[in-house]
């Protein structure tokens, strides 16, 4: 349990000045680390959604048994196309957003763009969570919505 005196020590002027002195590089590093950890899971989720779009759920669940068959090859073919679209939808908006956020942060502050990017990341994760919960009831195109938010 945190006592009131311990809480005051945590929020002391020296600790607050230390937190303010942290540069942007560690924050960007942690953010990019989280993004690159998330990409393989997004691709696996996209692969699963392609399977649900093309086949029934029982066949998609049986693909985990390390048996290569025609249906798995077809799923991989369609999934690679959707992964390409996923990367385009992931990259193109971020080019324009980074230009806007870069000029904003140079003129005003780094705080607002960093907060907005993290909010977008949280919303993207929530959309992906709903996609993974509802599995076959949603279309693949909704998966791209999370990248537009992000």
The answer to whether residues 144 and 60 touch, using CB atoms and an 8 Å cutoff, is no
Kindly report, residue by residue over 3-37, the tens digit of the pLDDT: 545 555 656 677 677 767 767 778 778 888 888 88
> Judging by beta carbons within 10 Å of its beta carbon (0-12, 13-18, 19+), is residue 14 exposed, middle or buried?
exposed
d(CA 62, CA 75): 13
Closest Cα partner for 86 from 33, 45, 132, 131? 45
Q: Is the pLDDT of residue 145 over 70?
A: yes
Q: Answer yes or no: are the C-beta atoms of 42 and 128 closer than 8 Å.
A: yes
pLDDT on residue 1: 46
pLDDT in tens, 94-142: 888 888 878 887 888 777 887 888 888 888 888 888 888 877 677 777 7
pTM of the model: 0.68
Share of the chain above pLDDT 70, in %: 83
């Amino acid at each position: 349990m945190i006592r009131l005196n311990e809480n005051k020590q945590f929020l002391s002027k020296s600790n607050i000045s230390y937190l303010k002195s942290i540069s942007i590089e560690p924050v960007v590093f942690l953010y990019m680390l989280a993004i690159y950890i998330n990409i393989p899971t997004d691709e696996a989720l996209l692969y699963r959604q392609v399977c649900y779009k093309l086949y029934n759920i029982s066949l998609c669940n049986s693909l985990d048994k390390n048996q290569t068959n025609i249906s798995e090859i077809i799923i991989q073919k369609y999934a690679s196309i959707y992964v390409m679209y996923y990367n385009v939808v992931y990259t193109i908006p971020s080019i324009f957003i980074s230009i806007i956020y870069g000029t904003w942060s140079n003129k005003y502050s780094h705080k607002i763009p960093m907060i907005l990017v993290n909010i977008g990341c949280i919303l993207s994760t929530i959309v992906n969570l709903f996609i993974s919960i509802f599995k076959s009831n949603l279309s693949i195109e909704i998966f791209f919505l999370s990248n537009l938010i992000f």
